[in-house]
Amino acid sequence: MPPRSEEPRRDATGSRRGSSRGAEPREPGVGGISDARAYTPRGRTIREGGAAARTGGGAEQRRTPRSSRSGDPFRPALQVLDGGRAGATRAGRRETAPGGRAGVVRTVSARPVREPFDDEDEAPPPRRRPGPRRPARPTAGRRPVRKPRRPPKLADPRRRLRLGTMLVLTLFATIGIRLVFLQTVTTPAYADGGLGTRLAVVELPAPRGAIYDRTGAPLAHSVEARYVFADPTVVKDRFAAAKLLSPLLGVPASELADRMKPRTLPGTTTPLQFVYLARGVEIPQAKQIMALDLAGIGVHRDEKREVPGGDLAANLLGFVSQDMHGLEGLEAKYDDLLEGQAGKKRYEVGQGDLAAPIPGGYSQTTPARPGGSLELTIDRDVQFMTQRILSDQMAQTRASVGAAVVVDVPTGEVLAQASYPGYDAAAPDKVNSPSDREDAATSFIVDPGSIHKAITFGAALQEGVITPETTFPVPNTITKGDTVFRDTHPAEGRTMSIPGMFAFSSNVGTIEIADKLGPDRLIDYQKRFGLGQPTGEGMPGEAPGRLLPVDRWSDSSHGSVPIGHSVDATPLQMAAAYNAIANDGTYVQPHLIRSVITPDGKKTAAAAPATHPVLSPANAAALRRIMEGVTSIDGPDGRATGLAAAVPGYRVAGKTGTGLRYDNGKLQPGEVGSFIGMAPAEKPRYVVAVFVWSPGGEGGTVAAPAFREIMGYTLRHYRVPPSATDRSPKFEVFPR
């Protein structure tokens, strides 16, 4: 800080501070350098300087006002003491009051100092002393005094309050609108989006429909079971687990251990976490498995197809897969009807370990729809006996195939349809060959042989070519083309009756009748009797057979076709043809389906079978009478071919046959022996057909006895009264 002058300052009146009142006044305008300059520790504004001049020297010793202290305390201010000499007035200097040499104290700042003021803190304007009015100061050359800048006002709290209120209201309005939008417009979308994370889905299995016989007894139906599965990633000791499970599942422990072996899904690196150990496990065994509490081993609800009869009608019924889909037989043909539609239950569950349904929460149930059921025309008792008799007779042959069919004459309903060999439908994989599971009655293609002669004789009767009383000489052989046809019972050229020709199965006599009938009419009657096309019985994969068109006949065909060669037919087709003869000449389509049963138990009868006339009732009756000689002629002229088929107490009309078997167009070794007959012959109720193929040719000795036993049981089972006379009409084989 610059040193002060040692001379006391003068006050506004020009007197020295601290001097006596009567001190001698100095001359105006005279003073030292100490009087001209004085530094103060704080600068003073011009206003303060003027105030000090008015109030006297004592005011200079006062502290600067608060507003002054807000300036820069380190900026020196130059205090000029002017003695007020005449002519020394400068621009911007105040003139000395008249009279006296009092100097004017001015504080000149080295740089203008701007002080911030509040309106409230601004110093009041200085009061003027009373006295003469000073003349106006000249303006020329004077720097205008700059008015101090007014400091900015502080923020208005009311404006801030209004602004904040508006922001808060806007925020709440936005949130409210969004909530209304979520609750009204997009509620379903958001609800559905979150629903899946808290829903549990349980499948409601639908049982597969049953298959019943005509009495309502189940032939195949589904029962509740369990399946056992494993998670290989969780199983701790697969060998120990397999050892415990093996006796309960009936599966070798080594096989179970291999199934539980850790492995990855094909084509990925993801470990396999599910593998079946057994399907269709009985519930008691499943409970024992659950009691073992093995890590990685689980049990779940399953369905099992149960076949009460084992192999009973198995070749007809077929079987299903482990997933309850029909694979063969009627199970496959009517899979869409039998298979049920599983349901689902979706409901909200809690989180955590409870995972229990939320009371009053979302719940939707799609009920399961059980499959429909089938009522067959099969009678399980007749089916059982037919299978047993056929298998017993087939035991006398080797490497053979057999078929037997029982048909109700008026309706065409198939009461039994047996195949040999058979199999257990509950274990379809335990067969020697897949062909063992086929239904022989609809898939076994044979040359029918002599049983076809009934069609030739029936057509001749209907066309008037012959009558029951017709006779003509029959030579031992006849040549057609390059083939010589001969009889097994030579007539030696003698005259034979029509019943005699039929009873002794004369090839020569039949060919001569066919020559009179002509090939065109013979083919027409073959079609009328149902040959050359599937019967539509209801079995899948039924073979249609084959007829040789006339334009493809060779010279030898005129001899082979009438006696049942160069003709392909199934046992069922031939049984249906004989049923037309038994049914007074009207063909009735054979069928297996009697009615369809809905899940609620309502029965709907199957469509009525197709029918059409083939023979007149009179000619059909005449043909049946001719056919009775096959089982009754036994005298000096010889024995008929079908005496072994006679049923005690009943008149039987039928025919034996010896044919050939072709497999994929290749002739197989051996012969096909057959017998088809009806009883009681005077008014037939049932037709039974038996076909047996054996490489050794033993079929002919098996078919007739099997027919006798099957027909006898069927007649007794349905309590058909015996014939009024058990004796057939008397026939002359060689009329004189």
Q: What is the spatial distance between Cα 550 and Cα 524, in angstroms, rounded to a whole number? A: 10
Classify domain 382-595+628-717 by CATH number.
3.40.710.10
pLDDT score of 289:
93
| CA-angle at 483, arms to 577 and 505, nearest 5° | 40
pLDDT score of 294:
92
pLDDT score of 407:
98
Higher pLDDT, 150 or 354: 150
pLDDT score of 246:
94
pLDDT score of 168:
92
Q: Of the ranges 154-168, 486-500, 721-735, which is most confident?
A: 486-500
Backbone angles phi, psi at 284, to 5 degrees: -60, -40
- Compute the average pLDDT of residues 432-436: 86
- Compute the average pLDDT of residues 586-598: 96
pLDDT score of 29:
45
Long-range contacts of 284-291 (CB under 8 A, 24+ apart): 285/226, 285/248, 285/249, 286/225, 286/226, 286/228, 288/248, 289/228, 289/245, 289/248, 289/249
Local structure of residue 296 (DSSP, 8 states): T
Higher pLDDT, 495 or 158: 495
Q: What percent of the chain has pLDDT over 70?
A: 77
Q: Are 283 and 224 in contact (CB under 8 A)?
A: yes
Q: How many CB atoms lie within 10 A of CB 66?
A: 9
Chain centroid to Cα 10, Å, comes to 116
Which residues are CB-neighbours of 448 under 8 A, at least 6 positions away?
Answer: 564, 567, 569, 574, 657, 659, 674
Amino acid at 305: R
- Sign of the C-alpha dihedral computed for residues 447, 453, 455 and 460 taken in this order: positive
Fold of 202-376: Penicillin-binding protein 2a (Domain 2) (3.90.1310)
Evaluate if residue 52 carries a pLDDT over 60. no
pLDDT score of 194:
64
Higher pLDDT, 161 or 76: 161
- Compute the average pLDDT of residues 477-501: 94
- Confidence category of residue 315, pLDDT binned at 50, 70, 90: very high
pTM: 0.71
Mind listing the pLDDT tens digit for each residue in 336-367? 999 988 888 888 877 665 567 778 777 888 88
Structure tokens at 160: 């801030």
Structure tokens at 22: 């009567």
Evaluate if residue 183 carries a pLDDT over 90. no
Average pLDDT, the chain: 82
Listed by start position, the domains of the chain span: 1-130, 202-376, 382-595+628-717
Local structure of residue 186 (DSSP, 8 states): S
pLDDT score of 647:
95
Mind listing the pLDDT tens digit for each residue in 528-567? 999 999 999 999 989 999 999 999 999 999 999 999 998 9
- Confidence category of residue 728, pLDDT binned at 50, 70, 90: confident
pLDDT score of 190:
67
Mind listing the pLDDT tens digit for each residue in 185-227? 777 776 666 666 677 777 778 889 999 999 999 999 999 899 9
Q: Of the ranges 124-138, 268-282, 341-355, 647-661, which is most confident?
A: 647-661
pLDDT score of 36:
46
pLDDT score of 277:
93
Mind listing the pLDDT tens digit for each residue in 79-133? 544 444 444 444 444 444 444 444 444 444 444 445 444 444 445 555 555 555 5
pLDDT score of 584:
97
Closest CA to 449 of 666, 622, 700: 700
Q: What is the spatial distance between Cα 8 and Cα 15, in angstroms, rounded to a whole number? A: 9
Q: What is the spatial distance between Cα 423 and Cα 234, in angstroms, rounded to a whole number? A: 40
pLDDT score of 30:
47
pLDDT score of 15:
45
